[in-house]
A and B are shown apart, each in its own frame.
Chain A
Amino acid sequence: ETGVTQTPRHLVMGMTNKKSLKCEQHLGHNAMYWYKQSAKKPLELMFVYNFKEQTENNSVPSRFSPECPNSSHLFLHLHTLQPEDSALYLCASSHRGVGDTEAFFGQGTRLTVV
């Protein structure tokens, strides 16, 4: 619907597991983003890629590892997560930077760390 597709929609993982979140955009956008949305907190930007190059890394713990193989795909690799990492992880894309143009969000992955 939005042109940004995230999989899986829901994920339950143990603290010792390794999993990956996938995001794909069909909008021809140049920038892609990972956000974390926790209850009662503003959206937190995690990573930004522009033309496949990482431009922002907002002091995200190394247990989160992004990968952007091309301008249409974005991954978030997860390992040894903590229960407090449980949240909705949203991928977004924009034609230019979101500083002056709208962001299109995927439907998110609801992550639960047990």
Chain B
Amino acid sequence: GQQVMQIPQYQHVQEGEDFTTYCNSSTTLSNIQWYKQRPGGHPVFLIQLVKSGEVKKQKRLTFQFGEAKKNSSLHITATQTTDVGTYFCAGPWSNYQLIWGAGTKLIIKP
């Protein structure tokens, strides 16, 4: 069945370092969504990418959708403590279902 693989599972960074998480789908996606879940919180929508090769930026966050629409990445430049949390990608499986990646947990080293 359709799968969305997300790596790495965890990433420890010093504050100020960059962070990247990657998603790979077994099938072509019509779009991909990214969510952030703070510790103890709930997933919050960040962005949706639709076009092949699309790149979108939100301040220090850069989102990319691959040319084949099967992979995507989220890159955070110069991480801050407010970036801590788990980042999820999700792709549609049906009109009402998303297939979720397992998430990448961003941990800032003390």
Contact = CB atoms under 8 A, between A and B. Distances in A.
A58 B97 CA distance: 10
B88 to A, nearest CB: 7
Nearest to B45: A102
Rank and list the top 6 A-B pairs by shortest CB-CB distance, nearest first.
Answer: A99-B92, A97-B95, A102-B45, A42-B100, A105-B42, A99-B95
Given A40-B102, A43-B88, A100-B31, A90 B42 contact: yes
30 contacts: A2-B44, A33-B96, A42-B99, A42-B100, A42-B101, A42-B102, A43-B88, A43-B98, A45-B98, A48-B96, A50-B96, A56-B94, A98-B33, A98-B92, A98-B96, A98-B97, A98-B98, A99-B30, A99-B98, A100-B30, A100-B92, A101-B48, A102-B33, A102-B48, A103-B33, A103-B43, A103-B45, A104-B45, A105-B42, A105-B43
B18 to A, nearest CB: 25
Contact of B41 (A96, A104, A107): A107
A102 B88 CA distance: 13
B85 interface: no
The interface centre, meaning the residue of B33, B43, B92, B100 with most chain A CB atoms within 10 A of its CB, is: B43
Interface in A85-114: 90, 96-108
Q: How large is the interface on A (under 10, 10 to 19, 20 to 34, 35 or more residues)?
A: 20 to 34
Interface string A17-60: 00000000000000101000000111101001010000110100
Given A40-B102, A106-B42, A45 B48 contact: no
Interface in B81-98: 88, 90, 92-98
